[in-house]
Chains A and B, each alone.
Chain A
């Protein structure tokens, strides 16, 4: 029982980071109809910037701000630069550009900072606190969960309650109709990219202290799992990404704890396959629209 509680709690912490990263993929997919394969590389560039800022100033919070702003800036640059140059009537050219960006960014990071893992200290202790004698979550896990919750609530508020969010959603769903209503669709796509990569950079920043450390490939596994999460939840659905993220986090934690760590990726792929067989559009994809 103690093991179960511990594994579920650890899975929740990991799952919240997964969900955050998956939501960043959902945001950019909705805004630009691109699966951004460069999300991990771009996020890691942001993490490096945050890491450098923390090292220079000694402030973790300045590092967080630096990572998020760098992520947003990278999102803007990618969308205004290479992605504007390729045809956007089908998703393939955008994906190929994104894969090219991965190579450029990861090679660039390796040239600038070296390919080795740099240890990144967590801002809070990572020893699990005990709850009635059972080790549950560490202060850092709690910080991760709280940050993810605050960011997701903020995103839900922004998309659901503000004029900007309304324009972002309209531009994503119906670009031509939105233009006829005076929405600057190009600007909305750029903002979508900025928000998306900023969120991804934050997820990357939360992840690195719990892993081997910072390297150009530090977020690769996170991307693969988060992509699976986004597809399981339905690429169009932020709530789907949240629930699937927590679910996959707990699943991998349970499989790692009760079976072996090597089986965890297989469990995720198995779940992905099962979901795609039963609901190819994902668990929380929008229902068929009324057409008459």
Chain B
């Protein structure tokens, strides 16, 4: 029951021209969708609008039939949305464990919270070793891992990820995407993954949506997008 529907969504900054101008998109319950496109295509703006950080000028966002459009980010989170923002998603002044506990606060109480923390540490073993380290001492990969773990600990219905692989070594990226794929398959979480690392994103996604200048220019099964050289060349530039 977590189908995500965007209806004629218009989003922009200040009084400039809209970045997304009447975007329609449906993400089925439990689907893993890769959101592809060049810089400036509107991927980050779309995710920020979904999370409520950049309010939509018009249009609607429906999650499992509930209209989220007028809600503040913290209320959207409580209705099952989670965004892992690009880059600086970790509260660097807090420790690894405090960051995780913060993610679990509103979802789990008492003993269940501790269990959720233990599970997260099991899933992301490198974080367990740095449990009491302050966020600012973590490497880029560890931070990205922590941000993902913190989003997953709240058991979101829909997980939004903005460039999780940006600036990471291929091995780390593969681990992150692997955990993501495994978790989505196990829990039925709907995932919307914005990525410039097209190959990596399409390898874990069921579907690929290509954005260009705020419009959906292609919406195909992932295997079809990555397998057909003509499509790849036309939409993804390789």
> Which A137-188 residues have C-beta < 8 A from chain B?
163, 166-167, 169-170, 173-174, 176-185
Q: Does B102 contact A (CB under 8 A)?
A: yes
Partner of B140, one of A167, A170, A292: A292
Q: Which residues of B contact A183 (CB under 8 A)?
A: 74, 102, 105
Bound-complex Cα distance A182 to B51 (A): 11
Tell me the complex Cα distance, A163–B100, Å.
12
Q: Find out whether the CB atom of B91 lies under 8 angstroms from the CB atom of A180.
A: no
**A134 part of interface (Cβ distance < 8 Å):** no
B73: chain A residues within 8 A (beta carbon): 179-180
Which residues of B57-112 have CB atoms within 8 Å of chain A's CB atoms?
Answer: 72-74, 77-78, 82-83, 85, 88-94, 98, 101-103, 105-106
Is there contact, CB below 8 Å, between A178 and B91?
Answer: yes
Q: In the bound complex, do residue B137 and residue A182 qualify as a contact, i.e. CB atoms below 8 Å apart?
A: no
A172-210 interface (Cβ within 8 A of B): 173-174, 176-185
A173 touches B74 (CB 8 A): no
What separation, in Å, do the CA atoms of A169 and B78 have in the docked complex? 20
> What CA separation (Å) do A163 and B85 show in the bound complex?
23
Q: Which residue of A lies closest to B107 (CB)?
A: A182
A166-B102, A180-B83 known, 10 other contacts, Cβ within 8 Å? A170-B98, A174-B91, A178-B91, A179-B53, A179-B73, A179-B74, A180-B85, A290-B138, A292-B139, A292-B140
Seen from chain B, the residues whose Cβ lies within 8 Å of a Cβ on chain A are 51, 53, 72-74, 77-78, 82-83, 85, 88-94, 98, 101-103, 105-106, 136-140, 150, 154
A-B contact pairs, 30 of them (CB 8 A): A166-B101, A167-B102, A167-B105, A169-B94, A169-B98, A170-B91, A170-B102, A173-B91, A173-B94, A174-B92, A177-B89, A177-B91, A179-B53, A179-B72, A179-B77, A180-B73, A180-B77, A180-B82, A180-B89, A181-B103, A181-B154, A182-B74, A182-B106, A184-B74, A185-B74, A286-B93, A289-B136, A290-B136, A290-B137, A292-B139
